[in-house]
Structure 1
Amino acid sequence: MEQIFIKGLPKVELHIHLEGTLDTNLIVELAEKNGIRLPRPKEELITFSGLADFLELLNWICSLVRDGSDARRLAYRFAQYASGQNIMYAEVMTNPTHWKALPYSELIPHILEGFEQAYGDGYCDCRLLVSLLRSQTRREALEMVRWMKTNRHPRLLGLSVDGNEAESESSNRELYEAFWEAKNAGFGVTVHAGESSPAAGVTEALDLLGAMRIDHGVRAVADERLLKRLSEEQIPLNVCLTSNLVELYPGVDQHPLGKLYELGIPVTVNTDDPELLGIDLCGELELASGAYGWDRADLVRLEKNAVRAAFCDEETKALLFSKLEAYCRIWRIAF
C-alpha cells in the first residue's frame, strides 16, 4: 500500500494513552526544568524490558509534569502530532494515577483546555477518556465518576480502565458500579481486555462492566462463541498491532488482526503508546496493510469502523464521515 494514500487518509484514533506520547526532547526539557536527573542517557531514555519496567518508566515520565501549564502544553503538542499524521479526530486516554504531581481535579481540566486551544488553532479534534487503574478501589472509582459528572465538558467523553488485566476478575467486582454509573450518565465506556487477560476478560468487560467497545481484545480469537458475538453485535476492538507484538506475538503473521477483520468484527488500528514504542499511526496502517493484503477500500473501512465506534455526537460523526467520503472521491473509491 503506497505511503501517499495512507498519509493523506483522514484518520481516527481511539486507543492511545497521553502518557505514552511525550517525546524524548520534551521529557528531557521537563526534567531539566524541575532539576531532576535522568535515570539513564538521553539516547537510551525510552527503553524498557517487560510490563513492570514499562510502567515504572511511565510513572517517572508523568512525574515530571508538575503544573497545569505543562499539562496543557503536552495536550496541545499531542494535537499537533496527530494533525501531522492527518488524524482528524482522536479519543485520548489518561490515567490520573500515573501523574503523581498533579491531582486529577487540576490535571484533567488543563488537558481539556490544551485540547480546546489546539482545536481552535486548527489542529486535531481531540477528546479525553479518563482511565481507572485495575488496582483502584470501589470508592476511588466512584469518586472519579462523580467528579466527571459534576465537571462535565464537551471534550470529556468517557471512562476506561487499564493496568494488569490478569486482575480483571477481582477488579471488575470493585469497579462495576462506577462503570455502570458512568454509562447511565451518558459517558462512553471502554475496557482494556483480551491482551494480558484471556478471552474471558473480554466477556467480563462486556457483561460486568457494560463495555461499549474493547481496547485490544485480540485474545478473543480463542473463543469461537465470543467471536460470533463480537461480529453479530458489531462490538469494536481497538487493536494496537506493534504494542501486541511487544507483549504477545513473535511476528505480525501470528497476530490475529487479519482474522478478526475477515470475520466482520469492527476492528480499528491504533498506536497505544507511540513515543514509547517508536511508532506512528501511518506506520501501523502500512504494517497492517502489508501483512494482510489490505487495499485502499480496506483502509477506508477501518476508518469508518473507528468513526462508528467513537463516543462523540452524531453531528461530529457526520462531519468525520464527510471528510472520509471526500477523500474517497479523490481516489475513486466506493464509499
Structure 2
Amino acid sequence: MPKRLGIGSRLILCFLRARDTEEAMTTLEQALPHCDRIVGVGLDSAEKGNPPGKFREVFDRARAHGFVTVAHAGEEGPAVYVRDALDLLHVSRIDHGIRALDDPAPVERLARERIPLTVCPLSNLRLQVVDDIRHHPLRTMMDKGLFVTVNSDDPAYFGGYVNENYLAVQQPLGLSNEHLAQLARNSFDAAFLPEEEKRMLLRRVNDYVAAS
C-alpha cells in the first residue's frame, strides 16, 4: 500500500479501560505472536471511574515484551490521570491530554520532558469536551510549549479526518501557517518510526513549507 499511495501505518493495540484487567491481559497474550506487526499498546475508552493505575500490571508486561505504551488521559478525566499515566504506566505519549491545563504541575512536566500529546479537536467538540471550537485549548497548549499534534480520533464517528481537524481550528484559533507547519512537524517527531524515516518525512514537510 505505501508503494501505491505513499501512505504507511503502524498498529497500536488498545485496551478498553471499562473492561476488566484480566481481559486486557488475555488480549495482550493473544497479540504476542503478532508483535512484529504491532508497535505498541494503548488505553482508551471512558476514563471516568477507570484510572490509569488499574492497568499497571498489563502495561508492565507489555513493556517487558518491547512495546511502546500510550494512553488516553486528561480528555474527560482529570489532570491527575495524565500524571498517573506517566508515573504508573510509563507511557511515551498522552492521547488527548487537554485537561492537563487544569493543573500547572503536569503542564510544566509535559513541556519539560517533551511528551507528545495527540489532540483531537473535532472529537472533543462532538463529545462535548469543549462547547465551541473557538474555546478549544490547542492554541493555549502550543503557547505553553507543549508538544502537541492534531489528529482525527475516530473519523467515522466524529466526522473529520486529519485535514478536517486542521481546517476546523485554523481560523477559530488564529493559527498561522507556521503554527500549522509546526503541528505537522510535531506529528512526525512524535511518531513511532525509525529516525531515518522521520528525517525523510520532516524534510518533505519543510520542502513543502518552503515552496508555499
Q: Do the structures match in fold with TM over 0.5? A: yes
1:41-190 alignment, distance < 5 Å: 118-153=1-36, 155-169=37-51, 172-173=53-54, 175-190=55-70
Structure number with greater CO (CA < 8 Å, separation at least 6) is 1
In structure 2, how many angstroms separate the alpha carbons of the residues matched to 1:182 and 1:316?
25
User: Aligned equivalents of 2:130 and 2:35: distance in 1?
Assistant: 40
2:153 is paired with a residue whose SS is: coil
Aligned to 2:151: 270
Q: Deviations over 1:282-329 (max 9, x none)?
A: 221122221222222111111111111111222221221122122123
> What does the per-residue CA deviation read over 1:55-91, in whole Å, with 9 as the maximum and x for residues that have no partner?
xxxxxxxxxxxxxxxxxxxxxxxxxxxxxxxxxxxxx
Kindly report which structure 2 residues correspond to 1:1-335, keeping only aligned pairs within 5 A, or say none: 118-153=1-36, 155-169=37-51, 172-173=53-54, 175-246=55-126, 247-331=128-212
Residue type at the aligned position of 2:49:
E
CA contact (8 A) 2:139 2:175 kept: no
Letter in 1 for 2:13: V
In the alignment, residue 23 of structure 2 is paired with which amino acid?
E
- Where 1:312 maps in the other structure, the secondary structure is coil
Give the unaligned 5+ runs of structure 2.
none
**In structure 2, C-alpha distance between the alignment counterparts of 1:259 and 1:269, rounded to whole Å:** 14
CA distance in 2, matches of 1:167, 1:312: 33
Q: Deviations over 1:22-68 (max 9, x none)?
A: xxxxxxxxxxxxxxxxxxxxxxxxxxxxxxxxxxxxxxxxxxxxxxx
Write out per-residue CA displacement over residues 114-162 of structure 1, whole angstroms, 9 at most, x where no aligned residue: xxxx224334111111110113333322233333333222x42111111
Given that 1:157 and 1:312 are in contact with CA atoms closer than 8 Å, whether structure 2 keeps it comes out as no
Q: Secondary structure of the equivalent of 1:121?
A: helix
| 8 Å CA contact 1:240, 1:269 repeated in 2 | yes
Root mean square deviation of aligned Cα: 1.7
CA contact (8 A) 2:97 2:117 kept: yes
Q: In 1, distance between residues paired with 2:186 and 2:4? A: 27
- Decide which structure has the larger Cα Rg and report it: 1
Letter in 2 for 1:176: R
Query: What is the DSSP-based 3-state SS (H/G/I as helix, E as strand, rest coil) of the residue aligned with 2:70?
Result: strand
Letter of the 2:89 counterpart: L
Alpha-carbon shift at residue 269 of structure 1 (Å):
0.8
Q: Quick one: distance in 2 between partners of 1:248 and 1:137?
A: 25
**Unmatched tracts of structure 1, length 5 or more:** 1-117
Find the residue that maps to 1:197 and give its secondary structure: coil
What TM-score comes out, normalization by structure 2 length? 0.91
Separation (CA, whole Å) in 1 of partners of 2:66 and 2:202 = 23
For the residue of structure 2 that corresponds to 1:189, the secondary structure is strand
Q: Secondary structure at the match of 1:267?
A: strand
8 A contact 1:203–1:226 mirrored in 2:
yes
- 2:118 aligned counterpart, secondary structure: strand
Take 2:57 and 2:118, find their aligned partners in 1: how far apart are those partners?
A: 24
What amino acid is the match of 1:187?
Answer: F
Are the aligned partners of 1:134 and 1:167 in contact in 2 as well (CA < 8 Å)? no
